[in-house]
Amino acid sequence: MSLLDNGPHTVKVYLEEVTEDFRKNVIRRPKADSPVTVTGCWMQPVASARGAFAALKVSDGQQVLVAYKLIARNAPVGWWSRVEWVDEDGNTRRFSVLGGPQVRPFSSMTRHISVTLREER
């Protein structure tokens, strides 16, 4: 039994779509409806930084950046996807893709995808 098939987390992946903005420029963004549910995956914390980046306005204080890595046997994640995860405390957390997605085509037993995510705050 592989950990890649039986991870403790479930996420929703909002697929990327190609559309046009108000100026008719082609843009990519997360599709707002019909998320894909990925079960048996891992949301692994990678890093966090507090105050490393100034906020846009002084009244906003400091930014807190949190990065996670999504590890799954398979997940339809693209560069412009959005990922939602309900953590162990019941909080819905939203992430944008920071790096990846990277397919790890090792063997049939260890093949998986990993994606570095940045929490949206």
Q: Give the dihedral sign, CA 39/43/44/46.
A: positive
Q: What confidence tens digit (pLDDT) does each residue in 24-57 have?
A: 999 999 999 989 999 999 999 987 665 544 444 4
What letter does residue 50 receive in the DSSP assignment?
E
Q: What confidence tens digit (pLDDT) does each residue in 51-108 have?
A: 544 444 445 555 567 889 999 999 999 999 999 999 999 999 999 998 878 998 888 8
Number of H helices, E strands in the chain: 0, 8
pTM: 0.81
**Residue-range domains of the chain with CATH:** 9-119 (2.40.10)
Instruction: Decide: 97 and 113 in contact? Cβ < 8 Å.
Output: no
- Pick the closest to residue 40 from 85, 73, 15 (CA basis): 73
* Dist CA 78 CA 17 (whole Å): 10
